Amino acid sequence: MTTTDAETKTLLDATISGIQTTEDLCKDISNFENLPLAFNATARCVPSIQTALVSCRDSLVSTSLEMSYFQELSTALETCKVEIARLNEIFHKAVKYSNPNAQHGPVAKEHGLEALMKAILNHVIQTLRTPPFQAVSGTQIKDLEQALAVFEKMESPSAAKASTNVNNYGNGVMNTNFGSGPQNNFENKSSGSFITGSIGTLRIGK
């Protein structure tokens, strides 16, 4: 095994160790019902991530990594290792603040899990596509791409929270549109009714 292969194997071992911790944490939260959907989606794809990384590490025993690929791959693995450490921090908080009887908890307000999982999956897919790992990837890339698609479809919790932020400083009833159509903002400083519409008649009460 060359020095380049040895360094790559060390990075893979560290990354695999991190994702193994994630898998253990996923087992700890299996009974928690108050967690966002992203946690369940993460728990489902973690075994596939671990299997893919183990396949890459084991393939270095019989093959050699060309120097031209080493820098790009090492950067991806270093970044992935840091991202997995962050993922484990989030799951530690899930275990700490959640319990089977809780309706709400601090962990439900945790933002960025979807984006973090997308980054991890992209880096693992990038690793699988690097020679000589292409020969052992098989259907693993397809499985990870399907998991990636799940996170890409998930709505960001922070975006959802921002879209429902409405301020009413008057004493009367306020009608608010939460749909995806155009939002027209108007001001009514009188005490009468204020009705707006993009098409039709506008009537302002006294």
Closest CA to 153 of 141, 145, 143: 145
Q: Is residue 86 part of a domain?
A: yes
Q: Is residue 97 part of a domain?
A: yes
Q: Is residue 194 part of a domain?
A: no
Q: Is residue 129 part of a domain?
A: yes
How big is the CA angle at 144 (ends 143 and 148), to the nearest 5 degrees? 120
Return the structure tokens found at 200.
């039709």
- pLDDT score of 168: 52
pLDDT tens, position by position, 20-58? 999 998 887 767 777 788 888 999 999 999 999 999 888
Q: Is residue 188 part of a domain?
A: no
Q: Is residue 192 part of a domain?
A: no
pLDDT tens, position by position, 88-107? 999 888 777 765 555 444 45
The domain containing residue 141 runs over which residues? Answer: 3-162
What's the full length of the chain, in residues? 206
Q: Where is pLDDT greater, at 54 or 175? A: 54
How big is the CA angle at 122 (ends 120 and 127), to the nearest 5 degrees? 95
Q: Is residue 80 part of a domain?
A: yes
Q: How many domains does the chain have?
A: 1
**What global pTM score does this model have?**
0.68
The span from the CA of 45 to the CA of 192, in Å, is 56
Q: Is residue 95 part of a domain?
A: yes
Residue 185 has pLDDT above 60, yes or no: no
- pLDDT score of 201: 47
